[in-house]
Amino acid sequence: MQVEFDPEKRILTLAERGLDMARAGEIFLEDHLTILDTRKDYGEECFISVLFLDNRMVFLA
């Protein structure tokens, strides 16, 4: 699955946290929890996912 992300944020997150946003599509290959993000009106449906990636718990929003 292809996931959209900001290329500049990808570089920053990779450098600071060692997480590559380009791998976000892998969440659907393993056990994960995804819920609708109802914290505010984003103008479109947004989701929050929790998963383990490389033995680290990761939250994607």
Reported as a single tens digit per residue, the pLDDT across 21-54 is: 888 888 778 899 999 999 999 999 999 999 888 8
Q: Which residue has the higher pLDDT, 14 or 54?
A: 14
Region 6-26: mean pLDDT is 91
Paired tokens of 1: 């699955």
CA 48 – CA 34 distance, rounded (Å): 6
* pLDDT at 55 > cutoff 80: yes
Q: Which residue has the higher pLDDT, 45 or 3?
A: 45
Give residue 6's identity as a one-letter amino acid code.
D
Residue 1, pLDDT above cutoff 70: no
On whether the pTM is more than 0.85, the answer is: no
